[in-house]
Amino acid sequence: MRGLHADTGYLLYRLGLRSGQLFNACLQESGLRLRHYAVLRFLATSEGALQRELSTRLGYDPSAIVGLVDDLEKQGFAERRPSPDDRRSRIVVLTEKGRAFLRDTDEAGQRVTNELLGPLDPADREALHGLLLRIAEDGLN
């Protein structure tokens, strides 16, 4: 019988949990969690998004997105605006305060990555990133 550490899926799961724990600890002072950060980071790569698009692209339940966006609006990091394409819909956009928050948390994110990938040299880190990106592009879309 194989041990758990022989299972790649389990290792990915454990590393994902650890990454989330470390990153949530970095975000704790702001009152946000990794899920909020994911929404902000997605919005930073777009001109705004419908809530249903956030749900689909991030893999979160639509009702969870509503709560996350509510939280981000309260903090002033995002806002809902009328959609130019459909007056019944609203798009979520990143505010300047949200952009500043992301800039401030970039260093924390890098510290988490460095802690997790500490045993790897730069070439191994780059190779791992490339492999994970290939898997994510195929399996998460």
pLDDT computed for residue 3 by the predictor: 77
> For residues 21-59, b (16+ Cβ closer than 10 Å) or e, as one string?
ebbbebbeeeebebbbbbbbbbbeeeebbbbeebbebbe
Contacts 24+ apart (CB under 8 A), 43-47: 43/78, 43/92, 43/93, 43/94, 43/98, 44/94, 44/98, 44/99, 44/102, 47/93
Collapsing DSSP states into helix, strand and coil, what is residue 27?
helix
Of the CA atoms within 13 Å of residue 43, those in its CB half-sphere come to 31
State mean pLDDT over 40-65. Answer: 93
Q: CATH assignment of 4-112, given 1.10.10.10, 1.10.10.1100, 3.40.1080.10, 3.40.50.1010? A: 1.10.10.10
Q: pTM of the full predicted structure?
A: 0.82
pLDDT computed for residue 137 by the predictor: 85
State mean pLDDT over 65-92. Answer: 93
Task: Reply yes or no on whether the pLDDT at 1 is more than 70.
Answer: no
CB-CB contact of 108 with 26 (8 Å): yes
Closest CA to 19 of 111, 114, 102, 112: 112
Closest CA to 112 of 18, 12, 37: 18
pLDDT computed for residue 107 by the predictor: 85
Q: Across all residues in the chain, what is the average pLDDT? A: 90
26 falls in which pLDDT band (50, 70, 90)? confident
